[in-house]
């Protein structure tokens, strides 16, 4: 239905921050007729709920029309379709030799589409998270491919010693990237892997040197901030030896590390491991090698104690911080407690029950209920709590495209958040949050195996 001026005013008034919405609307310069576009009402949900999108539009006003004039806002976009669209977008930008800029403009177009789908409730929680993960996967693949071509110009094609095969390089996703469940301003957790240290490059560089240069360049393409912002921040802290470890590892090196020094928290991190970019057989070989480390055939209850102690330390740290507002990710009764709850059971029973191995938290939670590890009622309660907490997280991050998990302390901002969560008052929002936190905390703190 076409929108008239009165209907537009009503949509702006229902924004999280009506004052900001009106200011953004008055400053909107793109030549778009909102009265005749099927996606107009949904698009207007951005006003007052996201500050950076006005900057994106100012740089690429041509990105708006496709969002408004078709069904693109109302349908989930599969990975293959998004991949094809990236290649079309790249081809159409051939006159622009700034690959970083092209990648960022593509990211902004898709993020704007997904913000609209989220704010206008045009997609369920799981589909939105998966679409953001798809965007991260497509842009990671694009960055790696571009970086590989550039690195080969310097060193030539890296060759394995055996049979003179080309060395494979792979990005394995962990965390919410691995779980196909990203939020709107999330880091992407990755491992950088290559086939072997046996071989070299025509330049004389080792395969390890080639790999580190390749992956560093791919990271820079994604996360270096330019006048067009960034694509995704890349987090490699979950790699062997963490920040002190080398950026990338050969398959033999990483297998040796996990066999000899791997800890329970690293087992938990690898529960979400999946191939996201590069040479697929390299990633699959890695998953096969670390499977016995992650999923053990015997019951090891030490994982329960260790992960619960780790989360309790996080809770204590949160209480010591100066900020008194709730951290939706790390706070007591928050997202991390649900993730740890699920991970503990996956590590305990996943070795003998393949059905418990989904990388996505909600699918794993449902599997725990269906297999009788927890009750279906508990699974349903935790599912509802998880979606509620993650939607808060999404709306916090949409506002400024920043990685924040902290509830605002300013009453005006807290009211705006409540409105974005479809709660008419702060009190109603706080009541729902407190009930949710209690459910989560009770399940996690009372978790035992007896």
At 19-48, the pLDDT tens digits run 999 999 988 877 777 777 778 888 889 999
Query: The whole model's pTM is what?
Result: 0.94
Q: Is 1's pLDDT higher than 60? A: no
Q: Are 67 and 113 in contact (CB under 8 A)?
A: yes
Q: Are 269 and 174 in contact (CB under 8 A)?
A: yes
Cβ-based neighbours of 246, under 8 Å, separated by 6 or more: 208, 212, 239
**pLDDT score recorded for residue 302:** 75
Alpha carbon 254 to its chain centroid, in Å, reads 24
At 118-138, the pLDDT tens digits run 999 999 999 999 999 999 999
**pLDDT score recorded for residue 136:** 98
Tell me 65's DSSP state.
H
Domain 125-294 has CATH 3.40.1190.20: no
Instruction: Place domain 302-445 in its CATH homologous superfamily.
Output: Nucleotidyltransferases  domain 2 (1.20.120.330)
Q: Are 193 and 251 in contact (CB under 8 A)?
A: yes
Q: Where are the beta strands (DSSP E) in 230-270?
A: 234-235, 248-250
Cβ-based neighbours of 422, under 8 Å, separated by 6 or more: none
- Per-residue pLDDT averaged across 331-339, rounded? 93
More reliable by pLDDT, 243 or 321: 243
Token couple for 306:
């260790």
Rounded Cα distance, 320 and 54, in Å: 37
Q: Is 91's pLDDT higher than 70? A: yes
At 165-211, the pLDDT tens digits run 999 999 999 999 999 999 999 899 999 999 999 999 999 999 999 99
- Using a 10 angstrom Cβ sphere, with 0-12 exposed, 13-18 middle and 19 or more buried, the burial of residue 412 is exposed
**pLDDT score recorded for residue 95:** 64
**pLDDT score recorded for residue 2:** 60
**pLDDT score recorded for residue 323:** 57
- Per-residue pLDDT averaged across 250-279, rounded? 95
**pLDDT score recorded for residue 313:** 73
Q: Is 355's pLDDT higher than 90? A: yes
Q: Residue for token digits 């905390």? A: 441
At 290-323, the pLDDT tens digits run 999 999 888 677 777 777 777 677 777 766 665 5
* Whole-number CA gyration radius for the chain: 23
In the three-class reduction of DSSP (H, G, I as helix; E, B as strand; rest coil), residue 224 is classed as coil
- Using a 10 angstrom Cβ sphere, with 0-12 exposed, 13-18 middle and 19 or more buried, the burial of residue 229 is middle
């Amino acid at each position: 239905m076409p929108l008239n001026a009165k209907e537009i005013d009503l949509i702006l008034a229902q924004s999280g921050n009506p004052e900001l919405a009106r200011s953004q609307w008055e400053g909107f310069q793109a030549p778009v007729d909102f009265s005749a576009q099927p996606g107009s009402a949904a698009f207007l949900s951005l006003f007052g709920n996201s500050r950076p999108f006005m900057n994106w539009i100012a740089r690429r006003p041509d990105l708006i029309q496709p969002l408004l004039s078709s069904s693109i806002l109302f349908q989930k976009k599969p990975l293959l379709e998004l991949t094809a669209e990236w290649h079309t977008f790249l081809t159409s930008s051939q006159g622009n030799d700034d690959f970083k800029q092209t990648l960022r403009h593509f990211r902004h177009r898709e993020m704007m589409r997904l913000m609209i789908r989220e704010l206008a409730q045009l997609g369920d929680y799981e589909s939105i998270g998966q679409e953001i993960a798809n965007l991260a996967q497509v842009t990671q693949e694009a960055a790696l491919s571009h970086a590989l071509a550039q690195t080969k110009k310097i060193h030539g094609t890296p060759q394995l010693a055996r049979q003179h095969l080309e060395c494979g390089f792979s990005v394995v996703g962990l965390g919410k990237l691995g779980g196909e469940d990203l939020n709107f301003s999330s880091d992407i957790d990755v491992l950088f892997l290559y086939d072997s240290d046996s071989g070299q490059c025509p330049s004389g560089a080792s395969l390890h040197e080639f790999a580190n240069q390749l992956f560093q360049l791919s990271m820079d393409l994604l996360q270096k901030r330019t006048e067009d912002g960034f694509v995704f921040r890349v987090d490699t802290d979950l790699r062997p030896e963490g920040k002190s470890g080398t950026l990338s590892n050969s398959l033999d090196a990483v297998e040796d590390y996990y066999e000899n020094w791997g800890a329970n928290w690293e087992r938990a991190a690898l529960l979400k491991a999946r191939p996201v970019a590069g040479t697929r057989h390299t990633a699959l070989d890695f998953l096969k090698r670390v499977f016995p480390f992650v999923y053990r055939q015997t019951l090891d209850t030490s994982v329960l104690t260790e992960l619960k102690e780790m989360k309790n330390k996080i809770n204590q740290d949160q209480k010591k911080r100066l900020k008194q507002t709730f951290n939706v990710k790390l706070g007591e009764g928050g997202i991390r407690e649900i993730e740890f709850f699920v991970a503990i059971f996956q590590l305990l029973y996943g070795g003998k029950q393949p059905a418990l191995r989904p990388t996505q938290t909600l699918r794993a939670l449902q599997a725990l209920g269906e297999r009788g590890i927890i009750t279906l009622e508990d699974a349903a309660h935790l599912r509802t709590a998880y979606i509620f907490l993650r939607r808060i997280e999404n709306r916090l991050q949409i506002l400024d495209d920043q990685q924040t998990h902290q509830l605002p302390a300013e009453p005006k901002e807290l009211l705006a958040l409540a409105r974005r969560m479809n709660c008419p008052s702060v009190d109603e929002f706080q009541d729902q949050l407190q009930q949710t936190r209690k459910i989560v905390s009770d399940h996690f703190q009372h978790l035992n195996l007896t």
